[in-house]
Chains A and B, each alone.
Chain A
Amino acid sequence: MSAPVIRCVGLARWYGEVQGLSGLTVDVSPGVVGLLGPNGSGKTTLMRLLTGLARPTRGHAELFGTRVSPDQWAVFRRVGYAPGDDVHFESERGSDFLALMARVAGDGPMAARARARAALEKVGMEELATKKLSTMSKGMRQRIKVAQALLLEPELLLLDEPLNGMDPVSRRKTINLVRAHGAAGGTVLFSSHILHEVESVTDRMLLLHHGRLLAEGRLSEIVGLLERKPRRVQISSGSRREIAAALLQEDYVSGVSFGDDSQLLLETRDLNRLLDRLQAYGGAGQIESMEIADENLESVFDTLVGSAV
């Protein structure tokens, strides 16, 4: 079996008394992986540790089997990194900045220009290439950052909150780029604190909270972690009072509440048994509609984070 693209072994980073990342052990294989967590959860710290921009307090990280360190710069030929920080090469034009990045990577002047043009085309910015970065909108600079990450056609993309500040069209374009990179066999670590952003690019994810890995895997696997957590089902029924009274007798129903009109919200620790029971009511024509609220990724995250706090 080949080595994972990213490997973290007990990776930890403290900023004085503050924990940035706590003993993260994880392997990432090719494909798109979402790195999800609220602000301050350790996403950017992880990105910086993976790129050698910060040193771990404990543990280590590997990219393509190479231990990350300032001296292992050759591995960056295979890595494209878009930092969360703004570009801040204000005096440069978009194309000049990209050409500079390509030249520092070893391209000659002509090759660097060609590479910059190709990267700008990928993010749909070829017509704005001569604009200075200082005069670009936040969304445009975000696209320049993504173009910079794509510049060397790397196998691994590390994108730190790349959709921040992008307009809907740019977001769609970037999401498609990320998906295409994963579909072509590449690896993308895509960080965001917004669930639907991650959901739009992948169903594989790492959930970080307070520097700890809260959950890892596919969305469906993560949902499986909720088996023992309260789940919510919302039904609409003209007989909601009778149904609520009957269900409150069951040990697997932990709560009921009444919503607007005919809505009834049920909370359970055993979703399957509740669904079986509701099926019986449905068969009798007593339930007009039903929605399992907890199938939404947002609620998965909320539940996991809530349990960790």
Chain B
Amino acid sequence: MSFSPQVLAVQAYSFRRRMLSWKALPALMVALVPTFMALVFRFFAPHEQGGTPTPYRMYGEILAPMCLYFVLPFLSMLVMLPILGELYEKGAIAYLLTRPAPRWVPLLGLYSGGLLALLPLAVLCATLPALILSPISGGVELRFWLQRVVFLSLVLWIGAAPYGALCLFLGVWSRKAVLWALALLIGWGSIAGSITGPLRALSPHRYLFGLLRNWLDLSNTLGQFSVPDPDPPGTLLSLLVLAGYVLAFLVLAYQAIRTRDVL
């Protein structure tokens, strides 16, 4: 028996709920932060003085890592955390859990709908700064800009998958999901994944940064948002580890949805 039509039905609902209502506004504001920074850079940075990065470098070495550090965790939280948490808080999850379908059906539908809702936000987050900076980038060809925009969008969206699955799990498992999400996404994600130490290897952030380096052709050197990785992960390893995290968090969320009471 195939449950994909059921999953798709919930996915469409989840997407509508996150994207086509005022609830999308906070996430949209967060996604526009790099655009704001690009505007400041374009109109207020003293480009003629030495030491100011070129617009192309600004995009790749400052804005893109900053998106991973700050924008991605908050976007994931704002979009994915309420998907299940809100339904539980209001008791509305009861309607979905008393359908003749296994509980992983609404879980997967809600998750994939949220992930879809994150795609336009990731694209927006990567595209608008490039549109602002590329006209002043001098000799950099458009294809290089396009390449960076596409890959940054992709890394952000791929990053939303494990972080989103983690948020989904936290939304069911804990009534203090926001605190847990902040601790885990910022602490275990952005911070642990970018500093040296044993936790780094376990953090999804390290693998996302690995993808960013490989796809945006960034150097593995000390920069404003980059601590060199002595053993940088390759693209395949990064994708596999991130997929593993998605699977692990979804399994945990499924266990939580089977055992948490709707009160």
Binding site for B on A (CB under 8 A): 15, 48, 51-55, 70-71, 73-77, 79, 81, 83, 85-89, 91-92, 100-101, 103-106, 108, 112, 148, 152
Contact = CB atoms under 8 A, between A and B. Distances in A.
A48 B13 contact: no
A89 B92 contact: yes
Interface stretch (B94-102, B119-127, B167-175): B94-102
Interface of B: 5-6, 9-10, 13, 16-17, 20-21, 87, 90-92, 94-103, 105-106, 109, 257-259, 261-263
Interface pairs A-B: 5 shortest CB-CB: A85-B91, A103-B9, A88-B92, A53-B262, A77-B100
B101 A70 contact: no
Contacts of A105: 6, 99-101
A174 to B, nearest CB: 18
B97 A108 contact: no
Contacts of A100: 9-10, 13
Given A54-B263, A91-B20, A104 B101 contact: yes
A52 B258 CA distance: 9
A88 to B, nearest CB: 4
A88 B100 contact: no
Q: Which of B9, B21, B258, B259 has the most CB of A within 10 A?
A: B9
Contacts of A52: 97-98
B87 to A, nearest CB: 8
Contacts of B99: 73, 76, 101, 104-105
B65 to A, nearest CB: 35
Given A48-B94, A53-B262, A70-B257, 13 more contacts: A51-B98, A70-B97, A77-B100, A81-B98, A89-B92, A89-B95, A91-B17, A92-B16, A101-B95, A104-B109, A105-B101, A106-B5, A112-B9
B9 A104 contact: yes
Given A70-B258, A85-B90, A92-B13, A106 B100 contact: yes
Contact of B95 (A83, A103, A112, A152): A83
Nearest to B20: A91
24 contacts: A48-B261, A51-B97, A51-B98, A53-B262, A70-B97, A73-B101, A73-B103, A81-B94, A83-B95, A85-B92, A88-B91, A89-B13, A91-B16, A91-B17, A91-B20, A92-B16, A100-B10, A104-B6, A104-B9, A104-B10, A104-B99, A104-B101, A106-B5, A106-B100
A100 B16 CA distance: 12
B100 A73 contact: yes
Contacts of A83: 91, 94-95
B261 A53 contact: yes
A222 B26 CA distance: 57
Contacts of B102: 71, 73
Contacts of B98: 51-53, 76, 79, 81
Nearest to A103: B9
Q: Which of A86, A106, A152 has the most CB of B within 10 A?
A: A106
Contacts of A48: 94, 261-263
Nearest to A151: B99
A205 B137 CA distance: 78
Contacts of B9: 100, 103-104, 112
A86 B21 CA distance: 19
B246 to A, nearest CB: 22
Contact of A108 (B5, B91, B105, B257): B5
B91 to A, nearest CB: 3
Contacts of B105: 104
Nearest to A90: B21
Q: Which of B95, B98, B109 has the most CB of A within 10 A?
A: B98
Contacts of B17: 91
Contacts of B100: 73-77, 105-106, 152
Q: Which of B6, B20, B87 has the most CB of A within 10 A?
A: B6
A272 to B, nearest CB: 47
Contact of B106 (A71, A92, A104, A148): A104
A75 B98 CA distance: 9
B196 to A, nearest CB: 43
A77 B1 CA distance: 15
A242 to B, nearest CB: 60
Nearest to B257: A70
Nearest to A99: B9
Contacts of B106: 104
A105 B216 CA distance: 45
B6 A106 contact: yes
A55 B259 contact: yes
Contacts of A79: 98
Nearest to B90: A88
Contacts of A112: 9
A85 B6 contact: no
Given A88-B90, A104-B6, A104-B106, A148 B258 contact: no
A85 B97 contact: no
A89 B9 CA distance: 14
B125 to A, nearest CB: 24
Q: Which of A15, A77, A89 has the most CB of B within 10 A?
A: A89
B5 A103 contact: yes
B45 to A, nearest CB: 42
